[in-house]
Amino acid sequence: MLFRLTCAIASALLVLTTSACSGDTGSGGSYGPSGRPGAGGTFTLALDQFPDRGLNPHYGAAFDAEQVLRNCYDSLISEDAHENFHPWLATSWTVSPDGRVYDFHLRQDVTFHDGEKFDAQAVKTNIDLLRDPHYPSWTTLGVLQYSSVSAVDVLDPYLVRITLSTPRADLLSTLAGLSGAMVAPNTLHADNPTLIAGNGLVGSGPFVIDRVVHGQEIRFRKNPAYHWGPATARHQGPAHLDTLVVRYVPQASVRAELLGSHEVDAIGTVKATDIPLFRGVDGFQYAQTGSAAATTVIMLNLTHGPTTDPRVRDAIAHGVDLTAIIDAVTRRSQGRAWSLISPDSKYFDPRYDNATPPNPRRARDLLDAAGWKTHGGSAIRANDRGEPLRVRLLATIPTYPLDDVLKAWQAELRQELGVDVESQYVENAQVYDLLARDDYEAFPRQVGGLDLSLQLNRAFGSTTPDLKYGQVDGITLGSIVAGAKLADPTVDRWLLAATETTDPNQRKTLFDNVTHYILDNSVAIPLYTDRNSVAATSTVFNLDTLFDPPRNVANGWSYDIAVRTE
């Protein structure tokens, strides 16, 4: 059982108290300042990961660390937490009856930080570049999100038309995210290394990058001319702050110490053991929100090793108490996921909740039937050739809470089922080559994308063992993070249909079909839902707006943030 674990998880994490375990999906315990926010001041925020992919918003759009760049870059539209769309740089838009032609009417009063005018030609330059195979972001954005764009036409200086080869329900989400950020065209004429670094790129957002200390800090200054914030914002006009400073501190405990000593104003990704230091504590505030992003899962490789056997996958998926693990490790600050779809998504179906409780006895019977049995005094099962039942887990170096969850899961599999989990953690740049070698059985991941169809297409569209994937009618299925390497034509048809239709009821049915297949065949094991957390001093106004556009992806959007300066 979980509470006999000794390796990897400190015993303090396993002692649950009522106050530490109460679920908090809102701003509960927040003690922000009263009154109206004023202008001026500096806001210092400590986050965990520096944007190592550079400062080009397009190149790093798929990675949480890059989301802080949203402070510099606007998009055509914004998306709220309920997956509804609102004006931003586009004042309105129309969609043709066949879902293939989008006309965007643009604001006529927007300028980039370098003085260049924003207009329809700027939109065309950005999107044409995003769908250019030679642009650095082609593999992370172009081939996945812009592959159905067949033309971008300037109809008049402030009217732009985007034409698709096939309807795509995820186009508006793509344009609303950092993947649709508008960059000053004059700054996009550079070689690829310069574009990847992004140092010379310019946006039109509420802040301008002032200074970068690689790996340590990004300093922003207010754009005083800004008066075109998204319709989802709480105010219009320039940002409240004069200066935004983002410091990068990988260790959660160190971030908590910096906030406790008031060396920073706020921290992101608050570890469960640090939440009681700030939630409900005088002088501090804590906020947490859910996300419609896909849940974090462990994909099981269908093409190599013991996990090719559905009985082994079934046993691994249902043989240990994941709810107890996640509740203990995160003190219920993260919710156990029972589905591929977040409870915060409009496509969520609660019928999956608690539908498959853990059954260690059945799991052991399945492993016996699959030929993996206990031998002598060994804790690890083996087959009739004496080979141990070993599951090799390959992952990008995990951060909290995934690192602690995986350690506990590994210990439970060994103790309860006799399954040995061998972990290999590498930098993200290395993981793709290792996935292509097909020498692993488990791959934990939260597959990114602002629309559920994009997330599921990437994770479960047909992918060969060497990570080859393809397009159907301009829609990309599979990706370099499709760790299960599922290749099922029926699932592909559901994914394609869910991408093409904009009818929410049809999409819900199709997403449910995919979810049922993945769970019924133990292709992936849902771990926990995506929740973002921040803590701050009581001098910070509007703390929860750090979760705002792009829709609940990461901490850092500071347009509505203010600090009490008196």
What pLDDT band is residue 394 in, cutting at 50, 70 and 90? very high
Are 372 and 381 in contact, with CB atoms under 8 Å apart? Answer: yes
Whether pLDDT at 315 is above 60? yes
Computed on alpha carbons and rounded to an integer, the radius of gyration of the chain in Å comes to 24
Residue 19 pLDDT class (50, 70, 90 cuts): very low
Position with higher pLDDT, 154 vs 566: 154
How far is 83 from 79, CA to CA, in rounded Å?
6
pLDDT bracket for residue 551 (50, 70, 90):
low
Task: Determine the average pLDDT of the residues in 195-218.
Answer: 94
Task: Identify whether the C-beta of residue 10 lies closer than 8 Å to the C-beta of residue 273.
Answer: no
The per-residue pLDDT for 548 is 67
- The reported pLDDT for the residue numbered 61 is 74
What tens digit of pLDDT does each residue of 223-265 get?
Answer: 999 999 999 999 999 999 999 999 999 999 999 999 999 999 9
Of 145-149, 289-293, 477-481, 494-498, give the lowest mean pLDDT range. Answer: 289-293
pLDDT at residue 297 in the model: 97
Query: Which of 2 and 406 is assigned the larger pLDDT?
Result: 406
pLDDT value of residue 554: 54
| pLDDT band of 21, cuts 50, 70, 90 | very low
Q: What is the mean pLDDT of residues 266-282?
A: 94
Give the model's pLDDT for residue 82. 81
Q: What is the pLDDT of residue 344?
A: 87
Q: How does the average pLDDT of the chain come out, rounded? A: 90
Q: How confident is the model at residue 372 (pLDDT cuts 50, 70, 90)?
A: very high
What is the phi-psi region of residue 73: left when phi exceeds 0, alpha when psi lies from -120 to 50, beta otherwise?
beta
Q: Are strands 149-156 and 101-106 parallel, antiparallel or unpaired?
A: unpaired
pLDDT digits (tens, 9 = 90+) for 338-361: 999 999 889 999 999 999 999 999
Q: Which two tokens stand for residue 263?
A: 């060396």
What is the per-residue pLDDT for 397? 92
pLDDT at 12 over 80: no
Position 529 scores a pLDDT of 87
Ranges of H-type helices in 440-483 = 452-460
Specify the range with the lowest mean pLDDT, choosing from 45-54, 81-90, 97-106, 541-550.
541-550
Q: Is residue 3's pLDDT more than 70?
A: no
The pTM of this model reads: 0.90
pLDDT on residue 456 = 96
> Cα separation of 8 and 403, whole Å?
10
Beta-carbon contacts of residue 295 (< 8 Å; ≥ 6 apart) = 337, 339, 340, 341, 342, 446, 526, 527, 528, 529, 530
Residue 532 has a pLDDT of 83
> Which two tokens mark 498?
């869910």
* Residue 25: pLDDT over 60: no
State residue 555's pLDDT score: 65
Q: What is the pLDDT of residue 549?
A: 59
- Indicate if the pLDDT at residue 493 is higher than 50: yes
Q: What is the pLDDT of residue 28?
A: 40
State the CB neighbour count (10 A cutoff) for residue 398: 16
Which pair of structure tokens corresponds to residue 398?
């995990």
**How sure is the predictor about 30, in pLDDT bands with cuts at 50, 70 and 90?**
low
Query: At which residue do the structure tokens 């005088």 appear?
Result: 282
Which has the minimum average pLDDT: 47-51, 321-325, 442-446, 498-502? 47-51
pLDDT grade for 117, boundaries at 50, 70 and 90? very high
Identify the band that residue 31 occupies on the pLDDT scale cut at 50, 70 and 90: low
Q: HSE (CB half, 13 Å, CA atoms) of 342?
A: 26
Residue 11 has pLDDT above 60, yes or no: no
Q: Is the pLDDT of residue 546 over 80?
A: yes
pLDDT at 27 over 70: no
In this predicted structure, the answer to whether residue 15 has a pLDDT above a threshold of 80 is no
Tokens 């702050």 identify what position? 241
Judged against a pLDDT cut of 60, whether residue 450 lies above it is answered with: yes
The answer to whether 472 touches 454, Cβ cutoff 8 Å, is: no
Cβ neighbors of 162 (< 8 A, separation 6 or more) are 101, 102, 104, 127, 149, 151, 152, 171
At residue 290, the 3 state secondary structure works out as strand
**Residue with the two structure tokens 């082994």:** 312
Helix, strand, or coil here: 2? helix
pLDDT tens string 138-183: 888 888 899 999 999 999 999 999 999 999 999 999 999 889 999 9
CB 286 within 8 A of CB 272: no
